[in-house]
Amino acid sequence: MTSIFRNLLKSIIGPPLSSIVMLADKGAEIHIGNKVMFGPQVKVIANDHRFDDPTKPIKYSGYAETGGIWVGNDVWIGTGAIILKGVHISDSSVIGAGSVVTKDVGAGEVWVGNPARKVKERLSVCHSS
């Protein structure tokens, strides 16, 4: 990859694409909005293994129902965050580094932790200074 192309990708989405992992099994979709920033080592995973049949090894149980992932516009997803199937992250939201997102995130919300939870409104942070 040429340095010009690498710099162009960096300016659009953040770190090189190789540091972002996106997994979607057949039937699952991952939608990424405009002006989204990804920190390094982010994982977006739209599928899951089954483990509900104790007579089968998990390895042979197949996949659970898939669920798409939607990331809105102007979203920042911090280093090492994991976004799991079925999650919608609305516009102007922030996901903290290392967070594991299992629930929908509202517009302008800041979520952190494992499992991730809402800690504040992004817009209230901007207006309070």
The residues carrying an active-site annotation are 49
Phi/psi for 77 (5° steps) reads -115, 115
The DSSP secondary-structure symbol of 19 reads G
